[in-house]
A = this chain, B = another copy of it.
């Protein structure tokens, strides 16, 4: 099989699950492809570009095969589905959110999906401007949530993950925090993601200028 930037990025993504982002090296990637490390630099400018390619693959995985909303599907349901796809794609790889966040990514399926988002929202009565400003808010929430989830879940600490330490809270100084500790530490459940997503979607609805009857 010939070595291509795409194959390199795909292999990098696979290795991510074994060694994490900080453990991923060009040499290891080369060995996985039965090639010497400098060979990679003929296909890829540098590691940063490789990470951008990996980010692009993650986003592409999320947006691949996305279809316009069904007849009985509200825009909220459809956008929520897209947000979940995005989160799932990032969760599929260790440190996936850190890789995907703020990396330059382009590609046919991404452009197509974005166009679909705009069309769905304008069909629902939003102006294109509203749509173009509201959708990134969803993405930013998704990325922020997932980065934190993976930081908490991940194995990036050699010793015990400090997140996992049972934080003892001074009940007299911080009574509310103490009373709510349970909710805070069941936080990696999908429920909290859905809760926040629901907030953002409800916010988009609430903020909309009701120009359409």
Contact = CB atoms under 8 A, between A and B. Distances in A.
A14 B48 CA distance: 24
A118 to B, nearest CB: 4
A66 interface: no
Interface in A172-213: 173-177, 179-180, 183-184, 187, 192, 195-196, 198-207
Nearest to A101: B147
Nearest to A165: B104
A199 B145 CA distance: 16
Given A101-B101, A114-B177, A133-B192, 11 more contacts: A101-B144, A102-B151, A128-B179, A133-B183, A136-B187, A141-B141, A141-B144, A143-B144, A199-B204, A199-B207, A202-B203
Interface of A: 48, 52, 98, 101-104, 106, 111-112, 114-115, 118-119, 122, 128-129, 131-134, 136-137, 139-145, 147-148, 150-152, 156-157, 161-163, 167, 169-170, 173-177, 179-180, 183-184, 187, 192, 195-196, 198-207
